[in-house]
Amino acid sequence: MLMLRHWVLGVCVLVLSGCASVYTPQSLQPGEMVRSGRFSMLVQDHQKPDEFLQGRFYWQDLQQGLTLDLNSPVGVTLARIEVQPQQSVLLIPGETPISAATADELLINIFSEPVPIQALRDWFQGRVSTSLQAFQVKRDSDQRITSFRAGQWLVSLSRYDEQGPTFLSMTQKMTQREVTLKLIVDAQP
């Protein structure tokens, strides 16, 4: 269960996705985003063996809410986070759902530490967030953001397409622990 929680934490920091009905880019409304791809997470703790997780994600950020499905490398859904305006819920097959008022509160309740889910919605579109102040912002020659610091996170964004970066790398360094998350977005059809 602890490994699954670390896995959920890592993927949540990377993306919010869903595998209900697949939205095609042609049917998206302004401000909506659907992304899928692969992720990896490395947790290095000075007092424990390293943990490495990888899998697939599906991020569906639509007007009615945000959904994140976390899948094993072979496609088995391991967890889902559903974010609505009034409530956020973590669903793990075979376990009681866990809910909170916001996604950030939900993950604080689960992991006892802040996870910037609201900021991720902006980062995933190549923007800094108003919910977590960014500093040391660097841009490429096209003025797209390439890296910045926000809270304890060092964030790198690259390989942009029409929707935003297709490669995100985030590292959080704490006194005894370092978490590195990487996301590679699938090419759009």
Token couple for 143: 């003025």
**Residue 115's pLDDT band (boundaries 50, 70, 90)?**
low
Q: Pull the structure tokens for residue 87.
A: 């409530």
- State yes or no: pLDDT of 146 exceeds 90: yes
Whether 133 and 119 have beta carbons less than 8 Å apart is answered as no
Question: Positive or negative, the Cα torsion across 13, 189, 158, 32?
Answer: negative
pLDDT band at 15 (very low <50, low <70, confident <90, very high): very low
Q: Is the pLDDT of residue 23 over 80?
A: no
- The structure tokens 């945000």 sit at 66
pTM above 0.85, yes or no: no
| C-alpha to C-alpha distance for 34 and 162, rounded to whole angstroms | 12
Please give the mean pLDDT across all residues of the chain: 81
Check pLDDT > 50 for residue 178: yes
Q: Residue 19: what pLDDT?
A: 33
Say if residue 18's pLDDT is above 70: no
Distance (Å, whole) CA 176 – CA 165: 30
Cβ-proximal residues to 149 (8 Å cutoff; 6+ apart), any chain: 134, 135, 136, 155
Q: Which domains does the chain have, with CATH numbers?
A: 2-18+34-185 (2.50.20.10)
* Per-residue pLDDT band at 20 (split at 50, 70, 90): very low
What is the average per-residue pLDDT within 11-20? 38
